[in-house]
Amino acid sequence: MSTLLQVNDLKVAYGGIHAVKGINLEVKQGELVALIGANGAGKTTTLKTLMGMVKPAGGDILFDGQSTSKLAPHEYVSNGLVMVPEGRGIFSRLTVEENLQMGAYSRNDKAEIAHDLERVYYLFPRLKERQKQLAGTLSGGEQQMVAIGRAMLSRPKLLLLDEPSMGLAPIIVQKIFEIIKMIAAEGVTMLLVEQNAKLALQTANRGYVMESGRITYSDDAAALLANEKVQQAYLGE
Ligand SMILES: Nc1ncnc2c1ncn2[C@@H]1O[C@H](COP(=O)(O)OP(=O)(O)O)[C@@H](O)[C@H]1O
Ligand SMILES: [Mg+2]
């Protein structure tokens, strides 16, 4: 498997606050990698830095073999780096379908976009039933589906998911994770940030544990699930 994302000694600071203190991380083509850790560990900062929304204080990021440091903001998505942000970031006054179409704004292959839209509706039949509904009137789980569907319409090479389970009822969380597995099975590479560590590691191939800006464990997801220290700190066992 070739390496799609390579992060070397990445450091990020907000003024005097060192949020990310020199992390190394990689995601190979086709992998589903979980990044877990407590609130404030630096997970969102890491994802935002991968998307160019926060500038690193040190280290480098290689995506598809190329440094991302020279990319203009709009080039991230057109290069295949796509994020579903914490809190979803959907447009509440637009319809479901308009929100999904926003994901394809940098594309002009109309027939392919129509095909991808059908694929999203196949993955999310609930959204097909609600195509014309204003996104702001959807339930939290449905809004998360819109956010993931919109990202799919950008044709991601690497999909970054920030806390997709946040604020959702357990049964809806299960549903969202089933969809994440289906997307992974279609060959989309993903980096999944979650506070629901157990579910994330049960879903992922590999995982990283982040604590106070550092990676403290990295291993196959099954090995992390079996690791006593990880169990005590993150799995409630
Ligand atoms: N915009 C910001 N300005 C200043 N500090 C920030 C900002 N965003 C995050 N932080 C701080 O950086 C650290 C990591 O935050 P974050 O990346 O959001 O963690 P996580 O996603 O793991 O909960 C925290 O101490 C947080 O308070
Ligand atoms: Mg976060």
| pLDDT tens by residue, 95-117 | 999 999 999 998 889 999 999 99
Instruction: Tell me if 60 is assigned to some domain.
Output: no
Determine the pLDDT at residue 230: 95
Give me the residue label for tokens 């066992």.
237
Atom of ligand 1 nearest to the CA of 47: 17
What is the residue with the minimal CA distance to atom 16 of ligand 1? 42
Instruction: Tell me if 66 is assigned to some domain.
Output: no
What is the residue with the minimal CA distance to atom 11 of ligand 1? 19
Q: Per residue in 73-98, pLDDT tens? A: 889 999 999 999 998 889 999 999 99
**Helix 140-152 crosses helix 110-123 at what angle (to 10 degrees)?**
150
Determine the pLDDT at residue 106: 87
Atom of ligand 1 nearest to the CA of 162: 21
Pocket test for ligand 1, best of 10, 12, 14 (most atoms within 8 A of CB): 14
Q: In what order do the strands lie in the sheet with 206-211?
A: 81-84, 158-162, 189-194, 32-36, 206-211, 214-220
Give me the residue label for tokens 């982040």.
210
Instruction: Tell me if 54 is assigned to some domain.
Output: no
Determine the pLDDT at residue 68: 96
CA of 39 to the centre of ligand 1 (A): 9
Residues whose beta carbon lies within 6 Å of some atom of ligand 1 = 14, 17, 19, 37, 39-45
Q: How large is the average pLDDT for residues 4-22?
A: 97
Q: How large is the average pLDDT for residues 14-25?
A: 97
Q: Where are the alpha helices (DSSP H) in the chain?
A: 43-50, 75-78, 96-102, 110-123, 125-129, 140-152, 170-185, 197-203, 221-226, 228-234
Range of the domain at 140: 31-43+72-234
Q: Reply yes or no on whether the pLDDT at 148 is more than 70.
A: yes
Q: Per residue in 51-79, pLDDT tens? A: 999 999 999 999 999 999 999 988 999 99
Determine the pLDDT at residue 71: 93
Give me the residue label for tokens 């994020």.
83
Instruction: Tell me if 178 is assigned to some domain.
Output: yes
Determine the pLDDT at residue 63: 97
Q: How large is the average pLDDT for residues 20-29?
A: 98
Pocket test for ligand 1, best of 17, 193, 212 (most atoms within 8 A of CB): 17
CA of 178 to the centre of ligand 1 (A): 29
Instruction: Tell me if 61 is assigned to some domain.
Output: no
Number of domains in the chain: 1
Instruction: Tell me if 53 is assigned to some domain.
Output: no
185: domain CATH number is 3.40.50.300
Instruction: Tell me if 23 is assigned to some domain.
Output: no
Q: How large is the average pLDDT for residues 209-219?
A: 98
CA of 209 to the centre of ligand 1 (A): 16
Give me the residue label for tokens 């989309």.
188
Mode of pairing for the β-strands spanning 206-211 and 32-36: parallel
Q: Per residue in 158-206, pLDDT tens? A: 999 999 999 999 999 999 999 999 999 999 999 999 989 999 999 999 9
